[in-house]
Each structure stands twice: as C-alpha cells, then as structure tokens.
Structure 1
Amino acid sequence: MLGTIVTASAAALAGPAAGLLGYRQLKRTSYANLLRVTAPHGIDESGFVRIGGIDQWVSVRGDDRRNPVILELHGGPGASNHIYVPRTRAWERHFTIVRWDMRGADRTFAHNGPDGQGEFTLARLHRDALELTHHVRTRLGVDKVLLVANSFGTVLGLRLARSHPELYSAYVGTDQNINAGGRENSAYHALLARLEKAGKRKELAGVTAMGPDKSAWTVEQWSAYNKLVITSDPLSYDTMKTVVIRSLWFSPQHTLGGLRAYLKGMTFSERLAPEAVTIDERREGTSFPLPFFVFQGASDVLTPPRPARRFFDDVVAPVKDFALIDDASHFAGFRHPDRFLDLMLTKVRPAIAHEPARR
C-alpha cells in the first residue's frame, strides 16, 4: 500500500520544480517518443469508460493485439500505474496492457472530483473491476484476461481471482499484501527493531503506542506507519526517490496540475485502508482454480516476503510459482521491470499458453 508515502516524499519535487523545469520537459519529451506504438498490430487507446455509474480512466497499450491481455490493478490506494509506463514499455512488446485509474485515483479522481467518486468501498471497487473486465473482454475480443496486481491492488486481485476464475487466465501478485485480519505483524516488529537500532526514540514510542493490530489503527496512524516503514529502510527509501518520485515527476502523461491531482487522489483514497487491513485472506480462501503466481521483492519491508510465502504455500491451484526479486523492496516490479518481465515470460506465459486467447 502506498498511501501518503509519496505525498510525504513529494517535497523531493520542490527542488526540481524550482530550477529544472526545462530538464523535466526534455525527459518528458524523450519518454513520449519512447511510448509511441508504431507496430502494425499495435494498440494505443485511452479515455473515460463509464464504470459503476462514473467515468473512469482506462488505457490500452501494446505492440501486438494478438498478445495476452493484462489487466493491471494498481496500488496505493489511489496510486495509478500510469506513471510507470516508460519503465515498463518493454512489457508492451509481449502483452497488451490495460491500465485503470480506479475511483479515487489520478484522472478518475481529477475528472469527477472528491464529491463525484460515488460509493467508495472495496466492494464497489470489486464490482468496478468486474465491469471493466467484461468491457475489456468485449473490446479486445478475448475470453480471459491476465490479472497482475501490485501492493494495494493485490487485496482486490485475490478476491477477483477467487470469485471469478472463469474470467482470468492467471493471477500474478507482486508487493503482495497478506493482512490476516490485521494480525500479520512481522513488518510492524521489524520496524520497531529498526527504529530502536537507529535510536529513534520518539518514533519508536509512537509506533509502540499504536500496537501491532492494524485493524485498530486510524487512517492517520496507518499513514504515519507506512511513512516510517519506507523512510527507515535504505533500499525502500532509495526506491521511493529513484523509481516512484522520478516516475511521477518525469511522467509524459502528467502536467504539473496532473501531478497535484495524483497526490490529492492518494490522500483521498487513504480512507480505504481501515477496511482493507481487516481482510483475512486465509478465511476468505486459499483455493484458486487458476494459475497462481507471487513475485515478491526479496527485501520488502512493507509487505514482507515471508507472510506472502506462507500464504502461497497454503494455496491450492492447478499451477503455482513463487519467486523473489533480489535487490528489491516494495515496488519490486518497477525497480526491476526487466526481471519482472523475465518472470512473466518464463513462468506465466507457459502456464496460460493453452488458454483460448480470442473469441
């Protein structure tokens, strides 16, 4: 989950904004050129689709419409993956990728405003995702789509994969959340240890007072906790600065006003956090009648690999695989998009090769 981690780090944008607007524009132009889809069978579409009674932003990109179709479920909540398109451009040579700004996120948030997001619950996002899935199947003429979820999106992704395996060729989770009804607390105790080692007595006292049960936290406590988790770990903090903040700042798809709307959407969407952490994934079920994959950052301190591995070990699926991405904490797929793509091609593509691709 991303929440206000980026908002708290957004001060990093202030420096470049003061003196490097010209450099920003050069980078954005370079990325825009990189993103051009010129292949004869390619697709590059974007716009608002009426989903769940409101207009929601959806893009479809890929170099060959005949490739498997991915539906991305972004993190946050409220943190659109559209900022990472330049980093994941190579993915589009092998997959047609549908990226969706959920209600509360990025262009969907900016277009409808905070009062126009409608019902804002996980159940509503679940229904939105199903509606979008049917739209994509019709628009692209495919029987099934491949679910690829990261961070907060994995909460929604697991529910979709369990409840509607007939719609999805496989599930791929990265930065996989295992909330366990708020009782999964290995990341919490690891944070306490880091704060104690660093002599951060004030922060240590604050986190200790919150207690390990995330289901009892307020939105403000959840946000403060996530910020401390990221900033107290060197690899996570480096990823925040070099991957997330840079992707946001140099995004060719976002004006300066668009960046502000992006951050406002994340802040707005934090209200989903208390509901999300109460989910108990094991109680909801570990049976997945479709290929099931988890690709986790080996050093992820926000959604640690051990709980994800324990959950994975309990999963019953026709095909399943688990892999660690070295030199990666949270945002593993975006820190090392080449390694993530290699896992998709060597593990996922063979598992879905026999699925009917078109209708």
Structure 2
Amino acid sequence: MPRAFDVTATTSSVQLDAAGHGEVSFTISNKLGVGVTFRATVVPDGNTRAEWMKFPDGMERTLSPDGTAVIPVRLSAPAGTPPGSYGFSLDVASISNPDEHYDRGPAVAFIVREAAGPVKKPFPWWLVALAAGVLLIVGVVVAILVSRGGDEGPGLGVACAKKEPRCGKDLTCGTGNVCVGTAGFKGCTSGGQCASGRCEGDTCEERVALSGTCDSADDCAEPLACHEAACRGLAGFSGCDKPEQCVTGRCEAGACKEQVTLGDTCDSNDDCRSPLTCNQGFCLIPLGEKCTHPSQCVSGSCDGTCNRGVVLCPRCPAGTICVNGECVRSVIIRDHRILDELKLEPRRTIPTP
C-alpha cells in the first residue's frame, strides 16, 4: 500500500538543556493526493513516558492534496528522571480513516544526564574587605545628607520643584509637572502615580514588552494590547516575527495583519480565519462544515456540508479551484448566512506564549 504521509524530523537526537528541556520538529507531507485532516501522537520507546512530550502548537493539521505541515514537539524530562537514553517516534493518522491512512516517523533519541553536584567554593574573603569599604562610603554619604538638612525634594503627587532635586527619592517629574514614581518605587495606589502608568500591588513597574504576560491593557507597552494574558500587536503593528505575537493571529513581513475570510486569497492557513483553510491560494471551508455552493469547499463538493463528492478533482493549476470535479476559474460564492453560521474567529496557531 502506498504511503499516506511522509514524516521527517529535524534531528535524530535532541540535546536537553540543564533543566531537562528540548524541542524537535517533524515535517508531515500529504501523499494521499486529496485534502486531509490528520492527528499526530507520540509513541514512547522503552522507559520513556508519553507525558514528557507536548505539542505546543496542537496535534492536528489540515493539508491540501500536496500540502505539508510542521509539528513541533517539546520535551521535558522531570526532575529525578533516572539518567540514561530515551526516545520516541511520531505517528500520523487521518482523522477520517485512521486504520488505513497512517504512517510513523523516524525515531528521535535524547539522553537524560545525571544532575551535577554542588561545587564547594573557597570563602570569599575579598567580599569582607569590599563590604567594609562600602560601609565606609555609605557612612560618608549619610553624613553629607544629614548636613544638607531637608533637601530631599517633593513627594509623590506634589508639584515638581523648580530646581534640583525636582522630586524625592525614586520619583521623577511627570506629566502635569507632578512627581510620580519611577520603576521600583513603592507606595503607589494607581497607574497614574507611576511614570510608566503601571502600578502592581504598591510598586511602580515597567510596562510589559511584546509576548510578555499581562492582566490588563495598562500592563502592556504602547501600542500593544493585552489579549489572552499576553501583550500582542493589533492589526497594523510592526515588529512581530510569529503569528502568536498578533491579536489577529497573522504576522506577515514583520507586521500584524487582519486574517482574511471566505474566498479571499491566502498563502497559508494562518492567513485565514478559523475554521477556514488555505487551499489552492483561497480561504475555503473544510470538510464537514456547512456550505451553500461547491465553490466554497476545499473538496469542490457541497450537499449542505462540504463533502468529498463522487468525482475527485485533479491537482488544479494556480488561480483555479475545484468545483464538482473540475478545475475552473470561478468566482467563489460568498453567502453571508454561511459566514454568520461559521462564526469565523481569528486562528490561534500557538497557545499563549
């Protein structure tokens, strides 16, 4: 029986870091000649445990007749794992026909090494001398400050002084000529009392950069937005390099862009709103979803839902789509009733970073 899938790995041996973590990616190519949705599962070898391997991007993909997909697998050997050699393989099977359409990828090995014991270091006597010098300097500084009297600068929320120091310790002159806290200042009760605009607990903190975790919009540096507990770029934001850094789930040429809808052109599944898939350069409806016209379906066949049809299309040239078994240059019928029922949402290719 001919192969259903071609499964390759980026490496046959993964080097784990000191914490026992590593990652390997598998490339899956569709050899069936028709579109297919598959699921990947790990097959542990020997004493390897399946729960050590996770799929950060999910374990399912939908492929065009000659499409490929990349499935990363993240390894994490827990603390206390006995040192030794471990390994696993990746099984790939069609969701609709797993008993006939399946294949297994190459074995990938990794080694869990014995944890290094603590290294005893000689007592750092030089630190004693350094500490004595620091205490001497601190004493001199304190004496100078005491001799200067109350020249500490205005406090939090007070108008800035006209000469230095314009504000007190850990404060700076902010908008409106009022003293606000710098990063690390303790004593704030709201974001308006911090130069960064962010007060966590009672401490002023810097705003969170791209992909950092957040609880609200005030946590993220402008122009980022807090979306699904991470700071992400809105459509039009420049500076992304992967889809999960955008609220829309689509990053193209370093900029966040809106995902496109039924009938729009695309380069990959990331361009299309879920559950649409990119096929023949167009965002189309996958098998099993509602439709009103064959041109809307990946399969080119519709009987109320997208199905495989009686006649399968050949591989259609660029710019054409399959409709009832023929490759045609046809306008894709956009039915607003179908778009409303599909409830198209931004595609999430990777969980929250």
TM range (shorter): under 0.3
Q: Compute the TM-score of the two structures, normalised by the length of structure 1.
A: 0.23
Rg bigger for which structure?
A: 2
Which structure carries more relative contact order (alpha carbon 8 Å, separation 6+)?
Answer: 1
Q: Compute the TM-score of the two structures, normalised by the length of structure 2.
A: 0.23
